[in-house]
Amino acid sequence: MRSDSPAPDDFESLPPRAGVARPRPTSTWFQELGTRRRLPLDGGHRPRARRSPPGRTAGGVRRKDYALNYYPGQVLVHSHHGPATVSKIIDRKVGKGRQRYLKLDVHDADLSVGVPLDRAEELGVRALLDADGLREVFDLLLAPTGEKDGVWSRRVKNNADRLRSGDVRVIAGLIRDLTRWNQEKRLSFGETTMLRDALTPFVAELALVLGVDTDKATAIVDAAVLEGTRPSMPRAELAAAS
């Protein structure tokens, strides 16, 4: 015999019958990107489903707003720390709302960095260099040395601004200039530290893209800057970088 009772899935979508109290849930649990949270409910209704960013896939985020599609295990480049792997995408409570963050585990360092997902590109998180990017970087390493400001304090400030830019092309020019100036006359302690800070993430990315160790990558950079030698990059390596 057919029952007039609503199916369980439809119960809460129907108005309550007169004189019949609707069961009132107090909380619910749900799982999102590996983070379990308890949400209070108001008025006895099921909570409105949280809308996912368009095109999001399991464990990752894909939005038309982002040039990159982020997912755990992805290798990216942080503008100041170099290559890093996305360990997870998490939600954090920020004020009265919530904010998605990328958790990046920096390579060769005991360091994790949290970056707001919707500002990741603005803050300098990007993909690894592709073949065109590699060619452009080596063009800059082989280019003539930039003009050297004779006033030390002004020169240091200008170079610090170049380093803080986080732009791999600007940093390639900085590495070229500091390396050649050091050959002409030993750099000050501050400039030597600046060169090291510029080289470390740059060489780490280059090693990862070309599939060599950091010592080999450093030798490739030195040969380009000091000897004018453009590295021979087999097509397979260029394809891997594309």
Cα separation, 123 vs 103, whole angstroms: 14
Burial pattern 54-81, b for ≥16 Cβ within 10 A else e, equals eebeeebbbbeeeebebbeebebbbbeb
Q: What is the pTM of this model?
A: 0.69
Within 10 A of 97 (CB to CB), how many other CB atoms are there? Answer: 7
Torsion of Cα atoms, 96 then 102 then 108 then 109, to 10°:
0
Q: Which of 32, 82, 74, 34 is nearest to 206 (CA)?
A: 82
The separation between the first and the last C-alpha atoms of the chain, rounded to the nearest angstrom, is: 65
Cα separation, 130 vs 137, whole angstroms: 11
Ramachandran quadrant class, 184 (left: phi over 0; alpha: psi -120 to 50; beta: rest): alpha
- Enter the tokens of residue 235: 């097509």
pLDDT digits (tens, 9 = 90+) for 61-75: 443 344 578 999 999
Residue 24: the pLDDT is 42
Residue 186: the pLDDT is 94
Sheet holding 97-106, edge to edge: 75-78, 82-94, 97-106, 112-116
Q: Give bridge partners of residue 89 from the DSSP assignment.
A: 102
| Beta-carbon contacts of residue 15 (< 8 Å; ≥ 6 apart) | none
Blockwise average pLDDT, block size 10, the chain, 242 residues: 47 42 38 35 41 42 56 94 95 86 92 93 94 95 95 95 95 98 95 96 95 95 96 60 54
Ordered by where they begin, the domains of the chain are 55-127 (2.40.10.170), 131-240 (1.20.58.1290)
